[in-house]
Amino acid sequence: MHSSNFSSLLSRMPRLQRLQIHKSTILSDKYNPDQVIAILSSTPKIQSITLSIGLSTPHIFHDLHIIHLPNLTSMKLTFLRLFTQESMTMHRPDVVSAFETEITSIFDCIQCNALHSLTFLCHHILLSRLPFIGLPLHVLETLELTMPMTPEMMAQCISKTPNLVSFQLTDLDDVSTGTQLHADPLQDSYLFNLTPSPTILPTLLWWPNLQSIRILSRLMSPYAYRDASAFSPATLTQFLKSRSENNPRLKCCDILFRQRPSFSEAELETLQGLKKHAGLKLRLNGARCPSVWEFGPDSPETGLVEPPNSSKLSDMECIFGTDVIV
């Protein structure tokens, strides 16, 4: 169905409450952001929406206006880079800035004061700021992000979402450049401020209602690399212990490290105890270093190398192998 026909169809459904447009549909017809805005404008009663938006070249909006979605409680937006000859300049600073402005503009025109759940995915576009900062994040309870995340963006994310109950970050590397692009987003100082303790007033504790946290560092390129985690095993262990002993208690924690950290025997014993006796659903995994790929595929040192297949892996597994820590 052509995009204009689809928008016309939606305009005859003003009471529609749930809409999902799968990526195969939206990409095959190359819906541009103007058309996505038209879709949202045609569904004023929408409560839940899932959209995938294809980006090839920076888009100039025409007649951008505020869209009032008072019943919207759940939103999932995926921004995908369309690989065309024109998009090969995607990593030029001016092009990246233009895409950031475009994505931010889409969020800025959406007014949704009842929003409780936000899922944002951005592939192969290296954002330098959070584009959804204009949304009413103070009421948000669930936030799921799939994107390259810097420590500065992480700090802003925490500060703008005080009532968060569930947080998931899938921190991506960049398969096109295959290099270390940013520091680990979760720093020791952030975990310290997330940890209840006598030295932190309850009113100053970050994410006091947190019950689930998942941090997944996805190593998709054999040439990407990153130093060891920016938060220490001791700080993480204390965070999990304290959160498991104070109400509301942390119920779930999943972390996939890009490199396996060195936990002490005492720290591992504490973590096992939290998992066994405190009722914490805890999974800590570490990605194995892609040593075979360090030479490049099919090099004289390695012979023929079969590329790893990530399609059958869970989000707690790395395509180059995974070590279970806890």
Supply the pLDDT for residue 239: 97
- pLDDT band for 274, please (50, 70, 90 cuts): very high
Supply the pLDDT for residue 1: 47
Supply the pLDDT for residue 195: 96
- Overall number of domains in the chain: 1
Q: What is the pLDDT of residues 42-56, one digit of tens each?
A: 889 999 999 888 777
Q: What is the pLDDT of residues 130-188, one digit of tens each?
A: 999 999 999 999 999 999 888 999 999 999 999 999 999 998 765 544 444 567 888 99
* Coil/strand/helix, residue 271: helix
Supply the pLDDT for residue 91: 64
More confident residue, 313 or 212: 212
Is residue 248 reached through a cis peptide bond, with omega within 30 degrees of 0 on the bond before it? yes
On average, the pLDDT of the chain sits at 81
> Token match 């790929």: residue?
293
CATH number, domain of 90, equals 3.80.10
> Token match 């052509």: residue?
2
Q: How far is CA 294 from CA 101, 180, 217, 224, 298, in A?
A: 36, 14, 19, 10, 11
- pLDDT band for 221, please (50, 70, 90 cuts): low
Cα–Cα distance for residue pair 109/323, rounded to 1 Å: 44
Among 72, 66, 78, residue whose Cα is nearest residue 23: 78
- pLDDT band for 314, please (50, 70, 90 cuts): confident
pLDDT at 298 over 90: no
Supply the pLDDT for residue 56: 72
> Token match 């169809």: residue?
9
Provide the 10 A C-beta neighbour count for residue 20. Answer: 11
pLDDT at 292 over 70: no
Residues 49/16, Cβ–Cβ less than 8 Å: no
Lowest mean pLDDT across 1-5, 113-117, 281-285:
1-5
Domain that holds residue 146: 3-324
Supply the pLDDT for residue 242: 97
Q: Which two tokens stand for residue 114?
A: 């009842």
Phi-psi label, residue 235: left if phi above 0, alpha if psi -120 to 50, beta otherwise: alpha
Query: In the chain, how many H helices and how many E strands?
Result: 8, 12
